[in-house]
Amino acid sequence: MEIERILQSQRDFFATQQTKSIAFRKMYLEKLRNLIISNENMLYEAIHKDFGKSKFDTFTTELSFILNDIDYYLKNIKSLAKPKKVSTNLANQLGSSKIYADPLGCILVIGAWNYPYQLSLSPIIAAMAAGNCCILKPSEIAENTMKAMSKIINENFPPEYLYVYEGGIDETTALLQLKFDKIFFTGSTKVGKIVYKAAAEHLTPVVLELGGKSPAIVTKDANLETAAKRIVWGKFLNAGQTCVAPDYLLVEESVQEQFLETLRKYIKDFKYETGSEQYTRIINQRNFQRLIRLIDQEKVYSGGDFNEEKLYIEPTVLNNVDWNDEIMQEEIFGPLLPVISFKNYNIALNAILELEKPLAAYLFTNNSEEKEAFTRKLSFGGGCINDTVMHLSNDHLPFGGVGNSGIGNYHGKYGFEAFSHPKAILEKMTWGEPDIKYPPYSEKKLSWIRKLL
Ligand code: NAD
């Protein structure tokens, strides 16, 4: 099989040690940056063909992330890769201890379609910075972006170092039979389990970046204007096809009416409407049909309309939703926002605790006790107080899920660490060691050891 041959060539190339040199890593990161910049228009066209994503959104939510990642690693690679000296315990004197960031070897990155460039290339960039060879399998669902990445990379990089393998389920299934040194997967929890099982056959470590139902909570102590603006943006950006989008809204009953009015106002102001440059369409018929089945017309507060031919669904707010409604059973991953009201903040937090741990959670309030309870009580990948989505843009913060929403982290130094093994080395002097640990043992030696340890 062709891909098996490419993986073997990557193993052989890794063994030459070339990818470990900082100069090599920087040269190829710079090359990738230049290729992205010189092919910017092709990248915009491909994603627009796939799901109507605008140039503005593509730059702000995809290309700027990738270019920032490259800059971050170019700037920090030397210090990230430098062996870290740590202290040495008494039993190991005279000695010194260091941790080496050891590249893992050959990495498989499997991407998702919803932010096809960012979710495929950000992990690749971190893996390159950490000194690895990589195979990227982008999502076939965003076919044009997959082809664009394959063109840019396969025409310009040696396949024994970096290679894009195009394909869908069959190709991914075949890839997963092979032995990699790490698999980095972004996608659904369902497929995450398939990847984890296949990886276990080879004891291959994984990072799984999965999804879930991420709540947004608005209490009566929130700045309602700001909350509405930030929730509308975070939810309807990319037509809700964002892994960290607020999935559903819990709003305190006393401000519910006013808050929903403000949501409606911002949806209108932002011109999130069919065919507008701001608004993205649904990726395919399958997802479109799944989403429109979730719209309970009797609960529609605003929106609710759709265009089957063009695959657009209006930003839709559903009010008086019940925890048992179908829309509350699975991640929505589309422009539908169910709203559930609450009277008691703690009971609302408990309801979230009943569900699987989400990838993100958002709280809007100016009340410090509510902030404290949110942070301490709930378990979720990451999130914001008084904003949505933006935590993932800070590369000083780790990004990843917990429980059903994922395993492992990346971004910034966490990305570098995800693709390195912290190799521990203790170096001993060849003189100056007392004999007390060596046989023959004696009571006297034991009493010294007790004192020393
Ligand atoms: P998906 O799980 O359907 O597909 C992801 C990848 O897995 C694709 O490359 C696809 O080709 C491959 N794949 C699909 N079925 C497979 C199978 N049976 N065997 C082997 N490989 C298979 O996910 P998606 O539709 O591309 O993305 C949507 C999901 O991803 C949502 O749940 C979303 O929350 C999640 N997501 C998470 C993050 C994150 O960073 N945590 C980011 C984006 C999306």
Same domain? For 231 and 275 the reply is yes
Which has the minimum average pLDDT: 87-96, 178-187, 284-293, 432-441? 432-441
Cis? peptide before 94, omega within 30° of 0: yes
Closest-CA residue, ligand 1 atom 43, reads: 243
Same domain? For 231 and 105 the reply is no
Mean pLDDT, residues 438-449? 93
Same domain? For 37 and 159 the reply is yes
Is residue 243 annotated as part of the catalytic site, yes or no? yes
User: Residue 134 is which amino acid?
Assistant: C
pLDDT tier, 274 (very low <50, low <70, confident <90, very high otherwise): confident
Same domain? For 164 and 311 the reply is no
pLDDT score of 219 more than 70: yes
CATH at residue 305: 3.40.309.10
In 3-state terms, what secondary structure has residue 59? helix
Residues of the domain holding 196: 2-210+406-425
Token pair of 154 as six digits: 């396969």
Report pLDDT for 1.
Answer: 66
In 3-state terms, what secondary structure has residue 253? helix
pLDDT score of 449 more than 70: yes
Report pLDDT for 273.
Answer: 86
Report pLDDT for 347.
Answer: 97
CA of 113 to the centre of ligand 1 (A): 7
Is residue 209 annotated as part of the catalytic site, yes or no? yes
Closest-CA residue, ligand 1 atom 4, reads: 187
CA of 237 to the centre of ligand 1 (A): 19
CA of 61 to the centre of ligand 1 (A): 18
Rounded to whole angstroms, what are the CA distances from 391 to 50, 58, 229, 314, 360? 27, 18, 16, 26, 9
d(C-alpha 47, C-alpha 58), whole Å? 8
In 3-state terms, what secondary structure has residue 215? strand
Residue 400 CA: nearest ligand 1 atom is 41
Task: Identify the active-site residue in 209, 252, 314, 370.
Answer: 209
Query: In this structure, what DSSP letter does residue 107 have?
Result: E
Dump strand ranges (E) for 157-247. 162-164, 182-186, 206-209, 215-218
d(C-alpha 209, C-alpha 401), whole Å? 6
Alpha-carbon torsion (240, 241, 246, 249), positive or negative: positive
Report pLDDT for 433.
Answer: 81
Mean pLDDT, residues 386-400? 97
Report the chain's mean pLDDT, rounded to a whole number. Answer: 97
Mean pLDDT, residues 53-74? 97
Same domain? For 187 and 106 the reply is yes
Q: What are φ and ψ of residue 23, in 5° steps?
A: -60, -40
Same domain? For 280 and 230 the reply is yes
pLDDT, one tens digit per residue, over 137-182 is 999 999 999 999 999 999 999 999 999 999 999 999 999 999 999 9
Residue 326 lies in a domain: yes
pLDDT score of 276 more than 90: no
CATH at residue 23: 3.40.605.10
Mean pLDDT, residues 309-324? 97
Report pLDDT for 91.
Answer: 87
Residue 172 lies in a domain: yes
Residue 440 lies in a domain: no
d(C-alpha 200, C-alpha 202), whole Å? 5
Q: What percent of the chain has pLDDT over 70?
A: 100
Q: What percent of the chain has pLDDT over 90?
A: 95
